[in-house]
Amino acid sequence: MTRTLLITGASSGIGEATARAAAQSGWNVALLARSEDKLAWIARAIGDQALAVPCDVTDRNALYDAVSAACDKFGQLDAVFANAGKGVDSPGVEKGDPEEWHEMIHLNILAVLYTANVTLPELRKTKGHFVVTGSKAGRDHMKGSIYGATKWFVQGFAGNLAEEMREWGGRCTLITPGMVDTAFFDEPKPSKIQPDDIARAVMFAIEQPDTAAVREIHVMPND
């Protein structure tokens, strides 16, 4: 049976690039994001291997329905890439915007937890793989960065989840990029890491043999 990868934040950037790379490697892909039109366009470009599921991953019930739709379509989940995330426009603590913090924390932390909570029962069936997007900002201290603090949570959570999944033969991989040329930044960053670079890292992790668990891949720009 063809393996299936579910991706959150799949409508652009790293998520879109990973969907295309996985499909090229023979995987089915379930694409989750809020942008229905973008998802539909990507799914059409990929073909029958792709399922577009518009979903707000901060809504656990909506996420549950999306996972059910993916399993109904493809039969099982073999890997999940919790990639959805965001930053803030107002940096720092003293001058930061608490409303922005709330939205970001819900997506960067709670949505990752929801994604794991909802998909782990399916991944347990296949001894599957959970991949999550962290950041260099979750490995270093950055002046006043609330975004970085959310990625510190992801850094710790991924290691703890890897130990939990190991008990039943599952695996968890944390991807920690430096600056990636995506819409996260206002200006293009063509000399920095490209989304396809991260997609290759994800595919490297999830296509390892059963005897190997890649716990973390740290990717930095080469300039």
C-alpha 31/C-alpha 54 separation (Å) is: 8
Distance CA 100, CA 105 (A): 8
Distance CA 134, CA 85 (A): 9
Class of residue 173 by CB neighbours under 10 A (exposed 0-12, middle 13-18, buried 19+): buried
Q: How far apart (Å, rounded) are the C-alpha atoms in residues 138 and 156?
A: 9
Tokens for 132? 């999550």
User: 133 and 180 in contact (C-beta within 8 Å)?
Assistant: no
Write out the catalytic residue numbers.
Answer: 147
Token pair 């539909």: residue: 40
